[in-house]
Amino acid sequence: MIEDPKPGDMIEILNNIYSHWAIYTGDGMVVHVTVPGTQFKPLPVATILKEAADWVDKEFDYNLLLDNCEHFATQLRYGHPESRQVRRGLCVCATCTVCCVELVKWIKRHHPRYTHTQEKKALQIV
């Protein structure tokens, strides 16, 4: 972790799955790449602080997938609740599911136990 970054330093923003990188340009500012259409303009600081203060001592219905702390923070900062962690997690789960289904199909087509069973069924039908 860089305690006192200098302009031109690479800044690593750690995530659970990957790291996001930016270049420090000075005065607390960075330049980084985002996916088009997913970057929102922050609300005015006074608005963010007022909205945050309004939540003090209030209960929050927490939901890991639909209403988590990232949704809460992005709602306050950008006026739009979003959780990229949830989106990434769902993409990873969907990809793993598809891969597992395809692997099971491949095993059933190529494993001797399954192909032998298929041949027996075909012989019994005839």
pLDDT at 122: 60
- Asked if residue 22 belongs to a domain, the reply is yes
- Asked if residue 72 belongs to a domain, the reply is no
Report if pTM > 0.75.
no
- Asked if residue 16 belongs to a domain, the reply is yes
- Asked if residue 70 belongs to a domain, the reply is no
pLDDT at 54: 93
pLDDT tens digits along 32-68: 877 666 678 889 999 999 999 999 999 888 888 888 8
Other residues' Cβ atoms within 10 Å of the Cβ of residue 76: 19
- Domain extent, residue 24, equals 1-33
- Asked if residue 41 belongs to a domain, the reply is no
Structure tokens at 89: 């997690």
pLDDT tens digits along 70-124: 889 889 988 988 887 777 777 778 888 888 989 888 888 887 776 555 555 666 6
Query: How many structural domains are present in the chain?
Result: 1
- Asked if residue 64 belongs to a domain, the reply is no
Beta-bridge partner residues of 13? 20
Beta strands in the chain (DSSP E): 10-14, 19-26, 29-32
Helix (H, G, I), strand (E, B) or coil at 72: helix
